Structure 1
């Protein structure tokens, strides 16, 4: 039976967004993912609307994904890899040392 007062679990934005280095890393990787999704879409000659239809998301969500502004779910990533006919790992290219990341 629930107790009165605060619930034991917090709802809303994850705590990871309050941690500076982690939040910056997430934002950086979302931008990289967005750029990769855009490259794949353009490489296949698809509009954002066509890609949204193939992936199964709203066209506005594609825009946010490509801008790195959407917190993309694993299910959406799998759907994108199927739609673009690439292995899931190809959505996450390795970062070269010149780009400032580790392999």
Structure 2
């Protein structure tokens, strides 16, 4: 569902200032296969002058929150602080999963 629920979580300010002749977007999900795809793209396009690389990762909305008993409760039925803490934990896990991909880009200075 697109619309109001969409938001950009991270924006690299340097990428907004570059006027690049080529933009390469690689969809990543933290898997070994997506890391291989990123390596391929970096090897293939990073030496072609001004190239902007974008890492794309889509996270689904969080409809439920797990309980200590192993059940799931709709996020609308938990306290705001519990929902916020769970969302923050999911963001942290996503960032951790994508860190190797970001490091590859840093190593190539893109």
TM-score higher than 0.5:
no
Structure number with higher helix proportion: 1
| Higher relative contact order (Cα pairs below 8 Å, separated by 6+ residues) | 2
Per the normalisation by structure 1, the TM-score is 0.23
